[in-house]
Every structure is written in C-alpha cells, then in structure tokens.
C-alpha cells in the first residue's frame, strides 16, 4: 500500500543471517518511466505486465485491478494516492478455484482464467466482475479491499458472453446494469454490422443476478472493454475498437498495420441510447506503433479528469507485457478527448511526459525484492497455475522459500498448454510448461534490469531440475540438474528444451544473476555472490501466451516427487521507480 512519508523513510527490512544486507530505506530511485521526482511523470507510469486495468476511487485512494490469465493468485489489486505511484494490495482470487484446468495437476488453462474485469464499490461492498472465456460471467465480493473475497458467483454462461464486463448502479432510478461483449454468440441474421455485439443487462441491486435477456447497444469490429459513466446526466460508454487493415494474422498476433482505438458512445436520453459515437484516443508518435486503448476514467481532487489505459502488443517490443499509461482528459463539446491532439484531427494521442495530477506523495512502486522472512508470500509473486500447496513452504526453514519438486505432468492431451491462437507452438510440449509450482514476478520496463537470487541446493535429489527462470511467451532456464548418481551439474535450457550442461557443483550455495539490455538477456552464476561467471548464450526474451517476461524459480523431477531447493533472497534492480536501500 502507499504509506506516509515518515513511515516510508523509516521502514526497515527484517535482518537475518546470510541474507540481503540489512537496509534502511533512505531515498527513492527514478528512471526512464514513472514518477520523475520533479512533479512530472513519464509514460508508462506502470511499465510492467499489468493489463486490462479498471480503477475505482474510494475517498482519496485509487484502486486498480488488472488481469493475469492462468496466474495464481488471480486479479492483482493495486492502490495509489496520486494515480502515478502504485503499490500492491492483494488479489481478488486466492486461487483459480472454479475449474480443474487451473490446478497444478492439470496446468492446461494457459491464457484463460482471469481476463479483463470491472471493479466497483457500492453501499459498503467491493465487487469484482470478470468473464472466464471458458466458463462465463462471475462476480466476487468483499467488505474489505484486502479480503476475504467471496467465491465467484456465476451470472451468465459462456454460451452467451465472451469477455469484458462493466457495471453501473444508477442511484436516480435504483437500477443496476452490466454491459458485456457477447461477440457473435447471440448475433442474429438481422444484424449485418461486422464485429462484436455489446449488450446491457439489468441486474439485481445487490449486483449478483441477471434480471433480463439483455439489450444490444453497439456492434463494432473488435469492440470490447466497455466502461459505463454517467456525468452531469449524460451517459457515456467507453469502448476499445480495432481498426483492422491487415487480416493476415490471427487475433492477438502482433501486426503494426492494425490499430486499436478508444471510442466513446454518448447519449443524453438513456443508458440504452440512442448513442452518438466518437473516437477519442489513438496511437500517436511517442510509442511507435503501439496501439493505445482500454482503461478507466478518473477524477482528481481539483476536478480535472484523467484516463489510465494500456499499450497493446502489436509491435516488436512488448516483451514486458501490456503496461499502463496515464493521460490528461480535456472535455471538448461534451466529449472526453484523451491525451493531446498532436495532429489536430479532434482525436487525442498519448503523452510521453506530463505534470502529475496530484502532488505531495512519495515515489513508490510494486514490491520486487524479497528476503522471504515473512510468514506469507509477497504480493508481487504469482504461481504458474494453482500451486501444489504441500510442495512449497516459508516455514519449514524460516527465512527461506522452499520449493519441493513434483514429478512433471505427462505430455498428453489434458495436460499443459494447448496449441491455439493464444499460445505459440515453440516449445509448448516442453517439461517446463507442465511443471507445477513455478513462482515468478513481472519484469519492469524495457531498457535494463538485473535480478540476483541465492539458492541452497543441498536438498536436491536424483532426476531433479531446479533454479532460475525467465519466461513469458518463451522460457530460458539456468539451474541445477541432478543425475541418477546424485551428481549435480549446472545447466542452461532454451525455449525448445535444449540443454547445455556446465560444471559439476559440489558446494551447497549457488547465486544466479540475470540481466537484460532491452530484449537481450544473459545468465551468470557464482559460488560466493561476488565472482560471477557467464553461462549460456545471450537470448531473446519475448511476449507470448498473452504474458510479458517474468523472473522467478522452478523445481521439478523427471521421475518422482523428490528433492527441494531453498531460496534465501531475491533482488531486482531496474530502470524505473523503486525504493532504493542503503547498506
């Protein structure tokens, strides 16, 4: 969470033996994006894989949710006091409990699970709506933003809806609504407009039940990610919409010729329309060919309006995923123009640098470093599918993360990733994708970064592989493999599961370092944490499976459930806002 300046500068990390050097937070770090410490910010303000944002303001705090597909826990929650500096609060879904494919013993829910959601606070209750493409529209509720959150309540089946719900409570009429992209699932022959249908359903005042069959309000190419606002008696529906000029690639495949824009529907009569339509945001010059759309409208205490949105992965460098940008909003003739109209065509484009909406709050960022001294896992960490909870621990060896190795899942139908338009073919049948309890966090930015972790490998057993992983659309591993005779060797593995074997390891301690310069990355290893040696090639990190590159740990066994690896600490330095610690 965002903390006061006094607390921020006095905070200490818990010391322990053989850990990250004891530190006191005494200053903050700026970089090539985010808060610049001079009253301005540089976009993206949250330069990591936090896609599909929605934001709800309660009091003086802004709360954001973002999707993360098959990662568990699901639907991260962040908070901010100034719209620029965001920190972790928790997750809506402690686990993806509603379907077996998200469990550690199946792991074939890749790219599904938690998609774009809608966040709302109404009459003392928090609501989070989302659609699992394979299961339908659901809502979870909580009295406290930090939980506990209820189990999902299903409201509409997958046969009727595709994605991206958004809700609105109209206090004047005491009616509640949800708009949903139903795509072509309910499309009749009389609707000849190409694209997705978006329908509004009336729902119960408690936000948990659908009351009617829905009414069609808009159809458009790729139209989705709606948000509903009522401002000064006027209805506004924000929608993302594709302008597709080149159909040579499937949906989700990067194609700079295609563009995703933000449109707004406006009606002075009813939530059901009739609506006027205007494009209010499109890609401009500051982010090359990255399309800009899908987000949430906010208002600052001075009554100025702002818009948070994601950059889309239709160019060559989205290896950090889909980051969040903050734009000023200017109202022109009753329309919200997002960003700055740099070409004077009446449509806004993203800004690169701008004055902050709210001043007076310290620079902060999502958590990254961890010494595993807490009894609970840090909020920055997420598992690849639901973990096998009996096979990881923060208490068996206090101050360490223990990852026990499970036997890798079988390479057959029903296990691991499917090959479809949301995944890539390269290496999808590799053991890594079917190994439970891979734990990771997002990379930050697209310039430079260096992560280091210390491992104790004394608990490893024959046929076990464990160590450090970078992965998103592809994986690259540096770790230890134990042969049938108990000998340990360093190895590097590329995305096609091809291994390069290194020196035999006879000690217990291993330090692994990985660095990237843009999308080119390397691995190094050390036995003392000081003298590092390179191992393996320079490799390319990449976006894929709708996921940006991540940093973390893996452990599996090719033959049986046996062996473990202990992680003492993890540090991550990158070119962006972060609390900087002094030894």
Is residue 340 domain-resident?
yes
Q: What pLDDT, on a 0 to 100 scale, did the predictor assign at position 23?
A: 40
Is residue 206 domain-resident?
yes
**Among 216-225, 240-249, 278-287, 497-506, which stretch is predicted with the lowest mean pLDDT?**
240-249
pLDDT tens digits for range 26-38: 467 899 999 999 9
Q: What pLDDT, on a 0 to 100 scale, did the predictor assign at position 6?
A: 30
Q: C-alpha angle 502/508/509, rounded to 5°?
A: 80
Is residue 302 domain-resident?
yes
Phi and psi at residue 220, to the nearest 5°: -160, 160
pLDDT tens digits for range 103-134: 999 999 998 999 999 999 999 999 999 999 99
Same domain, 263 and 408: no
- Residues contacting residue 404 through CB under 8 Å, at least 6 positions apart: 390, 391, 392, 393, 437, 555, 561, 563, 564
The continuous run of DSSP H or E covering 224 comes out as: strand 224-231
CATH number at residue 255: 2.115.10.20
- Residues contacting residue 450 through CB under 8 Å, at least 6 positions apart: 513, 514, 515, 516, 572, 573, 574
Is residue 408 domain-resident?
yes
Dig out the tokens for 571 from the structure: 């540090």
Same domain, 452 and 508: yes
- 372-386 as b/e: b if 16+ CB within 10 A: bbeeebbbbbbbbbb
Same domain, 493 and 443: yes
Q: What pLDDT, on a 0 to 100 scale, did the predictor assign at position 242?
A: 87
Strand 406-407 relative to strand 550-557, pairing? parallel
pLDDT tens digits for range 433-470: 999 999 999 999 999 999 999 999 999 999 999 999 99
Same domain, 222 and 291: yes
Q: Is the pLDDT of residue 520 over 90?
A: yes
Task: Report helix, strand or coil for 64.
Answer: strand
CATH number at residue 436: 2.60.120.200
DSSP summary character for residue 282: -
To the nearest whole number, what is the mean pLDDT of the chain?
A: 92
Same domain, 220 and 349: yes
Is residue 326 domain-resident?
yes
Q: What pLDDT, on a 0 to 100 scale, did the predictor assign at position 582?
A: 40
Same domain, 410 and 336: no
The more confident residue out of 547 and 568 is 568
Task: Report helix, strand or coil for 577.
Answer: coil
pLDDT tens digits for range 187-198: 999 999 999 999
Over residues 175-186, the mean pLDDT reads 98
Confidence of residue 317 (pLDDT cuts 50, 70, 90): confident
Over residues 521-535, the mean pLDDT reads 98
pTM summary value:
0.93
Same domain, 419 and 319: no
Q: What pLDDT, on a 0 to 100 scale, did the predictor assign at position 8?
A: 27
The continuous run of DSSP H or E covering 6 comes out as: helix 5-10
Q: Is the pLDDT of residue 9 over 70?
A: no
Same domain, 253 and 397: no
**What is the spatial distance between Cα 368 and Cα 451, in angstroms, rounded to a whole number?**
10
The continuous run of DSSP H or E covering 467 comes out as: strand 464-471
Q: Could you give the number of structural domains in the chain? A: 2
Same domain, 400 and 482: yes
The more confident residue out of 424 and 145 is 145
Domain that residue 194 falls in? 157-355
Over residues 309-336, the mean pLDDT reads 92
Confidence of residue 502 (pLDDT cuts 50, 70, 90): very high
Q: Is the pLDDT of residue 504 over 80?
A: yes
Q: Give the percent of the chain with pLDDT over 90.
A: 85
Q: What pLDDT, on a 0 to 100 scale, did the predictor assign at position 257?
A: 76
Dig out the tokens for 111 from the structure: 């790219």
Over residues 276-303, the mean pLDDT reads 94
Same domain, 316 and 420: no
Dig out the tokens for 389 from the structure: 């909870």
Which of 338, 355, 372 terminates a domain? The answer is 355
- Residues contacting residue 240 through CB under 8 Å, at least 6 positions apart: 222, 223, 224, 225, 260, 261, 262, 263, 293, 294
Same domain, 387 and 523: yes
Q: Give the percent of the chain with pLDDT over 70.
A: 92
Is residue 454 domain-resident?
yes
pLDDT tens digits for range 51-74: 999 999 999 999 999 999 999 999
The string of DSSP codes covering 337-361 is EESB-TTSSS-BB--SEEE-SS-S-
Is residue 11 domain-resident?
no
Q: Is the pLDDT of residue 19 over 70?
A: no
Same domain, 536 and 388: yes
Is residue 367 domain-resident?
no
């Amino acid at each position: 969470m965002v903390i006061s300046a006094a607390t921020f500068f006095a905070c200490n990390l818990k010391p322990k033996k053989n850990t990250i050097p004891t530190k006191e937070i005494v200053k903050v770090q700026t970089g090539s994006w985010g808060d610049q410490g001079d009253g301005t910010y540089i976009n993206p303000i949250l330069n990591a894989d936090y896609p599909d944002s929605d934001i709800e303001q309660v009091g003086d705090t802004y709360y954001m949710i973002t999707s993360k597909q098959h990662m568990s826990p699901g639907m991260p929650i962040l908070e901010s006091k100034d719209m620029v500096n965001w920190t972790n609060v928790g997750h809506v879904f402690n686990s993806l409990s509603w379907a077996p494919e998200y469990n550690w013993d199946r792991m074939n829910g890749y790219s599904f699970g938690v998609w774009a959601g809608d966040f709302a606070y109404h009459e003392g209750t928090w609501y989070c709506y989302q659609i699992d493409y394979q299961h339908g529209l659901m809502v979870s509720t909580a009295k406290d933003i930090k939980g506990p959150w209820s189990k999902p309540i299903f409201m509409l089946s997958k046969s009727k809806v595709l994605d991206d719900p958004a809700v609105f409570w109209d206090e004047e009429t005491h009616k509640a609504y949800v708009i949903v992209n139903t795509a072509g699932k309910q499309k009749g022959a009389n609707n000849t407009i190409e694209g997705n249908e978006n329908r509004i359903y009336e729902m119960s005042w408690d936000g948990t039940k659908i009351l009617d069959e829905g009414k069609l309000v808009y159809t458009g190419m790729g139209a989705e990610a709606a948000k509903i606002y009522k401002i000064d008696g006027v209805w506004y529906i924000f929608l993302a919409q594709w302008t597709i000029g080149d159909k040579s690639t499937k949906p989700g495949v990067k194609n700079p010729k295609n563009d995703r824009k933000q449109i707004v529907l406006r009606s002075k009569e009813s939530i059901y329309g009739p609506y006027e339509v205007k494009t209010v945001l499109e890609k401009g010059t500051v982010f090359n060919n990255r399309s800009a759309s899908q987000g949430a409208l906010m208002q600052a205490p001075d009554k100025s309006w702002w818009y948070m949105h994601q950059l889309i992965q239709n160019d060559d460098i989205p290896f950090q995923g889909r980051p969040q940008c903050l734009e000023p909003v200017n109202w022109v003739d009753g329309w919200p123009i997002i960003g700055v109209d740099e070409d004077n065509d009446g449509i806004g484009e993203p800004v690169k640098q701008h004055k902050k909406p709210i001043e007076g709050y310290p620079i902060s960022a999502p958590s990254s470093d961890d010494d595993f001294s807490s009894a609970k896992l840090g909020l920055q960490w997420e598992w690849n599918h639901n973990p096998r909870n009996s096979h990881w621990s923060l208490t068996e060896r206090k101050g360490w993360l223990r990852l026990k190795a499970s036997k890798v899942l079988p390479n057959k139908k029903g296990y691991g990733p499917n090959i479809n338009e949301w995944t890539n073919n390269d290496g999808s049948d590799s053991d890594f994708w079917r190994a439970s309890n891979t734990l990771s966090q997002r990379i930050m930015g697209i310039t430079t970064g260096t992560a280091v972790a210390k491992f104790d490998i004394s608990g490893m057993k024959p046929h076990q592989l464990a160590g450090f992983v970078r992965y998103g659309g592809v994986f690259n591993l540096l770790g230890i493999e134990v042969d049938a005779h108990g000998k340990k060797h360093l190895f590097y593995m590329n995305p096609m599961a091809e291994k390069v074997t290194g020196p035999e390891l006879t000690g217990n301690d291993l330090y692994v370092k990985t660095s990237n310069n843009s999308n080119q990355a390397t691995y190094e290893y050390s036995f003392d944490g000081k003298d590092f040696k390179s191992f393996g090639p320079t490799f390319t990190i990449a976006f894929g499976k709708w996921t940006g590159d991540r940093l973390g740990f893996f452990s599996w066994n090719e033959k049986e459930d046996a062996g473990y690896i202990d992680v003492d600490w993890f540090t991550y330095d990158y070119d962006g806002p972060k609390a900087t610690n002094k030894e």
